[in-house]
Amino acid sequence: MKDFRYTHFRSYIIPVLLFLSTIMTLGAFAQDLPLLTYDNEQAIIFKTQDNQQVAAFSGFVTVPENRNRAGSRDIHIHYVRFPATTKTPGSPIVYLAGGPGGSGIKTAEYANFRFPLFMALREFGDVIALDQRGTGKSDALPACQSSISTHSAKQQTDVEVAHLYQRAALECATFWQQQGIDIKGYTTEQSAQDLNDLRRHLKADKLTLWGISYGTHLALAATKTMPNNLDKLVLASVEGLNQTVKLPAQTDAYFARVQSAINTQSKAKALYPDVAGLIRRVHKRLETAPITLHISDNKGKKTDFLFQRWHMQRLASGMIADPHRGLKRLLALYRALDMGIIEPLQHIANRGYFSEAQINFRLMPLAMDIASGITQQRLEQVNHQSRSALLGPYLNFPMPQLQGVIDRLNLGDEFRAPPVSDVPTLVLSGSLDGRTYPQNQREAVRHFSRVTQVIIENAGHNLFMRSPEVTQTIRRFLADEPVKKQKIVVPLPDLLIKR
């Protein structure tokens, strides 16, 4: 008969022994690092996808799914804690991933990504890679594949596309409700309260929040829910509380900045003398003559796919975040289509980009965006500007198209009101960020009394690792040293694809 007491002891002690063997490499600090200080934690060896390893703790905090409903079920919010490497640690530093829907734990795991920054910040305190509710290890929610298809043999208007997504969202809301899931628990407001519960769990007076993109949206919400329990904020690519949907005219201004960057590279300038004109020509052609592509659906069945103007606008919206990533490929794609060459587009189709016929959603990203929503005044601006903007209403699709579609999920204009805070805040903005724009980022924290904005010239949305100076700036800020350099210049990547 198996001795379950021994089995339990063995399952506990082996990770601890592994942890002890690993922290010996941390030097003098090893003897001062605590073991299993907090409830629901276990020692682990954290491994990245490129085989870097470090001693850490895996844990979770239990919270209500919906604090606004009596008798709500509990859910677990998971995290990985990287212990501080100092004898006098400050407040825990909590990483908030973007998306919404990104995983903090996966962010630390990805190869050649942000793991070195997670490690560097341990000199100031424990660093927490958090999986927000509905993400990563905190996601026990089924994805929903609706019965609604966007594939069509005829052209579709923007209104028709919006109606398809609205029907799909309502169908998925019903699906999740039938699974016993409280959709109204998956809002930024509830996630902000999770942060305060995490703070209590870690027995900390205050937290330092370190976020990017949607993660900054969550951090700004936390300045309202726990204003006296925040130490510092490190915010990159900031998304304000009323900026879930970006203004289309500001995306056009981004393309003007891209043109200015192109003009500094003679070969790129020769190929792209008028990016805005190029984009408009391709969209106009697709409006009158959409392209038939040959694709395989997710079951391997060969079929035709009618690639329309709105598909191109959605595709472009997903490729403009960073000049060192998708932007050069997007420019090359537009140029090819302008010349009547469809092979690059067919190559994208061959990789399965258009294979999903049915609209599908993950709950967390869908609910968070609908709940954060948009004010009526901003919605009117977006609708007006979309009529003539390069990417129309598709930068943040399916918002604002799904605004208000799920009853009583919207958090209201009080949530979207600009936060007021005296928490020391560092804002890092890429000058060529195609998702959040430097001027809007400053606007998002305009009522903060202790804010420093640093522009990373030629960087995009994912800016943390574009220069060692970014890490140095964050370290100076966390060390309470003055951040005197307001601009960091990184090399502009070559905007031509090398063949």
Residue 179 has pLDDT above 70, yes or no: yes
pLDDT in the model for residue 5: 34
Average pLDDT over residues 75-88: 97
Q: Cα(461)–Cα(444) distance, rounded to whole angstroms?
A: 16
- CA distances 441 to 6, 117, 162, 242, 465, Å, are 55, 22, 28, 11, 19
Residue 384 has pLDDT above 90, yes or no: yes
Q: Cα(66)–Cα(64) distance, rounded to whole angstroms?
A: 5
pLDDT in the model for residue 373: 98
Q: How high is the mean pLDDT of the chain?
A: 93
pLDDT interval class at 25 (50, 70, 90)? very low
pLDDT in the model for residue 296: 83
Strand partners, 489: 457
Structure tokens at 294: 């040959």
- For the stretch 161-172, pLDDT in tens is 999 999 999 999
Residue 31 has pLDDT above 90, yes or no: no
pLDDT interval class at 300 (50, 70, 90)? confident
Residue 28 has pLDDT above 80, yes or no: no
Q: Cα(319)–Cα(105) distance, rounded to whole angstroms?
A: 24
Task: Return the amino acid letter for 199.
Answer: R
- For the stretch 91-139, pLDDT in tens is 999 999 999 999 999 999 999 999 999 999 999 999 999 999 999 999 9
Average pLDDT over residues 294-299: 79
pLDDT in the model for residue 178: 97
Residue 62 has pLDDT above 70, yes or no: yes
pLDDT interval class at 7 (50, 70, 90)? very low
Candidates 222, 220, 211, 38; CA nearest to 117 is 211
Strand partners, 56: 44
Torsion angle of the four alpha carbons 482, 485, 487, 490, in this order, in degrees rounded to the nearest 10: -110
Average pLDDT over residues 325-331: 95
Q: Pairing mode, if any, of strands 53-64 and 41-47? A: antiparallel
- For the stretch 216-268, pLDDT in tens is 999 999 999 999 999 999 999 999 999 999 999 999 999 999 999 999 999 99
Say what the pTM is: 0.93
pLDDT in the model for residue 359: 97
Residue 275 has pLDDT above 60, yes or no: yes
Average pLDDT over residues 466-486: 97
